Structure 1
């Protein structure tokens, strides 16, 4: 009870007493780094600037949202790498032609 009175939150546990996994946060972190790396590669190649721009435009807000709800340090690392990769991929794609066909 003293922990609750001090305002600290306790980690959720399942029926067997183990800590509950953070499935949504894990999937969002993996998705943000995957989309970010894809945007970086596609944005770098001049012929694929349109899908790279779209992937960067999707990956950046996804990584930002994932960073807001992340629960562990490992998830935060993946989110930051995905965020930077999405931003750089979008920047390279815009430099190579952006949203033009």
Structure 2
């Protein structure tokens, strides 16, 4: 009979909603925190390791993205509902903190 055999993909299903409920706001905040934190982290490493990239504008951009990542991440952490969301949020907060520190060390906000 057609439709009786179900095939499953071999790739695991990754979700932030392990409790079975949808959390679109927290999921969006978690992803924004992670993306901004990683952006800040990468920019911080660039201004630290590339001598020609040591400009004040790049340091300010690094510090701002790190600060926004931390503030958004801390709010998202307060309203998060699942463990998976918290893992993504904390990863973004830590990356944002490192980027913020590197941005401040190279002249951001001064």
TM-score above 0.5, yes or no: yes
Q: Is the Cα–Cα contact under 8 Å of residues 44 and 93 in structure 1 kept in the other structure?
A: no
Pair 1:82-2:92 in alignment? yes
Pair 1:69-2:87 in alignment? no
Partner of 2:45: 44
Structure (1 or 2) with the greater helix fraction: 1
Tell me which stretches of 4 or more aligned residues in structure 1 moved more than 3 Å: none
Deviation at 1:98, TM superposition (A): 1.3
Cα distance in 1 for partners of 2:101, 2:91 equals 15
SS in 2 for 1:45: helix
Deviation at 1:27, TM superposition (A): 0.5
Residues 67-87 of structure 1: CA deviation (Å, up to 9, x unaligned): 000011110000110010010
Unaligned runs of 5+ in 1: 1-18
Pair 1:34-2:35 in alignment? yes
Unaligned runs of 5+ in 2: 1-19, 48-52
Deviation at 1:42, TM superposition (A): 1.1
Greater relative contact order (Cα 8 A, min sep 6): structure 1 or 2?
2
Partner of 1:91: 101
Deviation at 1:20, TM superposition (A): 3.4
Pair 1:59-2:69 in alignment? yes
